[in-house]
Chains A and B, each alone.
Chain A
Amino acid sequence: MTLQELITKLNLAVLTAPLDFNTVTPQGGYASDLLSCVIAGVQPGNIWVTLQAHMNVVAVAALRDISAVILTENAQPETVVIEKANEQNVILLSTSESSYQIVGKLWELGIK
């Protein structure tokens, strides 16, 4: 499933610069708010679900080639964080739902 389909089906807000999300196909996912766990456990291409929205989220996403980050519970990154994400080609998406709900929906959509 492409990232564009996920964005539409999960009604995600796109925080970073728009691009052709049909060309991005997330492979599996990872959910954690502890950055060290993410660095150790995430696989390149994974979609990452977290409610953390600070600068090091972008650094970790870039470091581990994460396909997109879904920020849950309306976690709002500061403008500088979004700018950094654009610079590093990190895709930041946002939802009002909890990590638990989003992970459940991703799983149902076949992101396993």
Chain B
Amino acid sequence: MPIYRAELHVHTVLSPCAGVEMIPPVLVQKALAMGINLIAITDHNTTANIGAVMKAAKGTDLTVLPGMELQTREEVHVLCLFDGLEQAEAWQRRVDACFGEIQNDVEIFGEQFVVDATGDLIHREPRLLITNVDISLEEAVAGVNALGGIVIPAHVERRAYGLMAVLGFASPIFEALEISSHVTVKDVCQRFPDISNFPLLQSGDVHYPDGFIGVMEFEMAAPTISEIRKAIHAEGDRKMRIISAN
């Protein structure tokens, strides 16, 4: 069974909190240099830079899954991962219909650049991307699953926007949870005993080129959502593990 080293939570220069270095060729190069061959692009509430990253990764060993880090009505961040751009864009249309009307203030939050595959600026996203979308956690799971995707709550232990800190419990509607790079599974499970019942993923929540950690290893037939799902649930010889010292 092939093995994939994965980083399933990667921001681009479109996320206001990400570095301006996070352009498609740089992040493709950085991922490959770390031995990572599967990434998901997950900007805040937007999918607009994914096509550019996919293009930049063409011809390399890197598979790019389209995704989004959705900020739900509850102010919780969840990764929404998809197989294809079409599904991600369908999800974007749903998100756009529930978007707030606050404009980004570059001085305060940072730039939000939509770029091409080389990293050249196409336009600035005027809406503030780090804001609640009027979609609940349950609606997100139902909507993303219906498009063949999967929802994984992000950095669940973090005080800001983390499922456990904000909501206080992990609902069984989730198939897996993500923890931050700077914590250990043991510590997080001690703090929040509820989450030891869930398969856990760890990621770098990559905002800068040196943020890749690549500690997720998936043993699965292909880099697809259905295979990731099987690996999460340890079905049919598929496996998932965190390979760090944590």
Could you tell me which A residues sit within 8 Å of B by CB distance? 34-36, 39-40, 52-56, 59, 62-63, 88
Cβ 8 A contact of B159, one of A34, A36, A52, A59 = A52
Apart from A35-B132, A53-B159, A59-B109, list 4 A-B contacts with CB within 8 A: A34-B132, A36-B71, A39-B131, A55-B160
Q: Summarize B's interface: helix, strand, loop or mixed.
A: loop
Determine the chain B residues whose CB is within 8 A of the CB of A88 once the complex forms: 108
Q: How far apart are the CA atoms of A63 and B131 in the complex, in Å?
A: 13
**What is B's interface to A at a CB cutoff of 8 Å?**
71, 75, 100, 102, 105, 108-109, 130-132, 159-160
A36 touches B160 (CB 8 A): no
Check A36–B108 contact: CB distance below 8 A: no
Number of cross-chain contacts by CB at 8 Å? 30
CB neighbours (8 Å) of B75 from chain A are 34-36
| Chain B residues within 8 Å of A52, by CB | 159-160
State the Cβ distance, B59 to closest chain A Cβ, in Å: 38
Q: Is the CB of B100 within 8 A of A63?
A: no
Least CB distance from A48 to B in Å reads: 15
Bound form: Cα–Cα A35–B108 in Å: 14
User: What are 16 A-B pairs at a CB distance below 8 A?
Assistant: A34-B75, A34-B132, A35-B132, A36-B100, A36-B131, A36-B132, A39-B100, A39-B102, A40-B100, A40-B102, A53-B159, A55-B160, A56-B160, A62-B108, A63-B105, A88-B108
- For the complex, give the distance between the alpha carbons of A54 and B159 in Å: 8
The 9 closest A-B pairs by CB, nearest first: A36-B132, A54-B160, A59-B108, A34-B75, A62-B108, A36-B131, A63-B108, A63-B105, A39-B102
